[in-house]
Chains A and B, each alone.
Chain A
Amino acid sequence: DSGVTQTPKHLITATGQRVTLRCSPRSGDLSVYWYQQSLDQGLQFLIQYYNGEERAKGNILERFSAQQFPDLHSELNLSSLELGDSALYFCASSAGTGVEKLFFGSGTQLSVL
Chain B
Amino acid sequence: AQSVTQLGSHVSVSEGALVLLRCNYSSSVPPYLFWYVQYPNQGLQLLLKYTTGATLVKGINGFEAEFKKSETSFHLTKPSAHMSDAAEYFCAVSGSARQLTFGSGTQLTVLP
Contacts and interface: CB of A to CB of B under 8 A. Distances in A.
Q: Which 6 A-B pairs have the closest CB atoms?
A: A104-B43, A43-B102, A104-B44, A106-B43, A42-B104, A99-B100
B34 to A, nearest CB: 8
A102 B104 contact: no
Interface in A87-113: 90, 92, 98-102, 104-107
Contact of B99 (A56, A90, A101): A56
Contacts, number: 46
Interface of B: 32, 36, 41-46, 49, 51, 90, 94, 97-105
B98 A43 contact: no
Nearest to B42: A106
A102 to B, nearest CB: 7
B43 A4 contact: yes
Interface of A: 2, 4, 42-43, 45, 48, 56, 58, 90, 92, 98-102, 104-107
A42 B105 contact: yes
A102 B36 CA distance: 10
A48 B44 CA distance: 17
Nearest to B105: A42
Given A104-B36, A104-B43, A104-B44, 17 more contacts: A4-B43, A42-B103, A42-B104, A42-B105, A43-B90, A45-B101, A48-B99, A56-B98, A99-B32, A99-B98, A100-B51, A100-B94, A102-B44, A104-B45, A105-B43, A106-B41, A106-B43
20 contacts: A2-B43, A4-B43, A43-B105, A45-B99, A45-B100, A45-B101, A56-B97, A58-B99, A90-B43, A99-B98, A100-B32, A100-B49, A100-B94, A102-B100, A104-B36, A104-B45, A105-B43, A106-B41, A106-B42, A106-B43
